[in-house]
Structure 1
């Protein structure tokens, strides 16, 4: 009798784990669909002395965009930039293959592997959270993006 209950318990655990894996894959697919489109950089905040401060964006930074495309069940991202006097020089990166999992996405840009956390605020706004150096200190930075219409 004990063996029967042990086998039944083991089967239930296996079934339970398998259903969670399928749900996780579906959530990642939904997240990939969420990101699909063009996103414009609208705000940068950072933490200094325990307070959140807004970084003043210069005009060229306001033209920075992330473009996500879904192709052959893969997510592709391209970054666009504006530089030069009056931000008239436009450039873009090569396409990156992006892996979206949980609350983060990872990709390889040139020879750097990047893993960045994201936070979804609404259907049309999300942010990327990472650490960088501002004013000589490593700090948490949050870049806010808005869906381009």
Structure 2
């Protein structure tokens, strides 16, 4: 039993190390100067807001409905390849539940820590919780 617990702790620490390393890679700053792009974005945003405010009520309403449709289509197309991803994440949730939660969420958040804690305490609740997170019920 001691060997099992020690191996589980080492595996969890390994998963946390990989997750921290992956998050550090994704947090590297862009080579573009953020100050210059921020001022351009603010001016473009202000111009767009002024143009939107100058529209009639009917035109504003139609643009908002078009934006909602575009957002709905984007979400639908984004989840088009979700079957394969979900299957792979479910397999990974059985093997390494915290890593599967991290890959699904894209960040280390409270769900990741809950999954890690459940996996460290007893493996099966961690697997169940990871499957719940991946399948969207938690």
Task: Indicate whether the TM-score tops 0.5.
Answer: no
**Rg larger in structure:** 2
More helix by share: 2
Q: Give the TM-score of the pair, scaled to structure 2.
A: 0.31
Determine which structure has greater relative contact order: mean sequence separation of CA pairs < 8 Å that are 6+ residues apart, divided by chain length: 2
Q: Give the TM-score of the pair, scaled to structure 1.
A: 0.29
More strand by share: 1
